[in-house]
Amino acid sequence: MPYPTNSVTTDTLKRGLKSGIEVTWQLAKVMLPIYFTVTLLKHTPVLDAIARFFAPLMGIFGLPGEAALVLVIGNLVNLYAAIGAIASLSLSLKEISILAIMLSFCHSLPVETALAKKIGLSAVSVIAARMALAVLSGLAFNLLL
């Protein structure tokens, strides 16, 4: 019985490399502008004002006030934009973990709510459920971590 030959060809490698570069480019187009915008905001009074305003609310999740910006970006844009915002801030592993679990339940609200509405779900119910799960998970993980 003959052994299978190596099925990876030069063409396969070229297609894989091309696909990888395209995906990287798509992600970079979202993440880099957010990263640079948040980094720029760090050098202005704007981010500090946002942080002070949201500090009491974010504190219940064990997060600094700046984390509100990450949640807003993740909820309105997408997870990759939120990752760009996270990367530009100085957050601890615990804080990043809490943000990640919260965003896993509640992200890309405009797009995903529109999709849910198309299949007959109530937009208000979908948003309320996702936000409630994000809040509950944030509270729980703050206590557990």
pLDDT tens-place string over residues 56-87:
999 999 999 999 999 999 999 999 999 999 99
Is the predicted pLDDT of residue 6 greater than 70, yes or no? no
Q: What rounded mean pLDDT belongs to the chain? A: 92
Is the predicted pLDDT of residue 3 greater than 80, yes or no? no
Question: Which residues have a Cβ under 8 Å from the Cβ of 82 and sit 6 or more positions away?
Answer: 70, 71, 73, 74, 99, 103, 107
Query: Residue type at 125?
Result: S
Is the predicted pLDDT of residue 46 greater than 80, yes or no? yes
Question: Which residues have a Cβ under 8 Å from the Cβ of 39 and sit 6 or more positions away?
Answer: 88
Q: How confident is the model at residue 93 (pLDDT cuts 50, 70, 90)?
A: very high
Q: How confident is the model at residue 35 (pLDDT cuts 50, 70, 90)?
A: confident
Q: Check residue 8 and give its pLDDT.
A: 77
Rounded to two decimals, the pTM is 0.82
**Residue 73 to residue 59: CA distance in whole angstroms:** 19
Is the predicted pLDDT of residue 28 greater than 90, yes or no? no
**Residue 140 to residue 12: CA distance in whole angstroms:** 46
Q: Check residue 112 and give its pLDDT.
A: 92
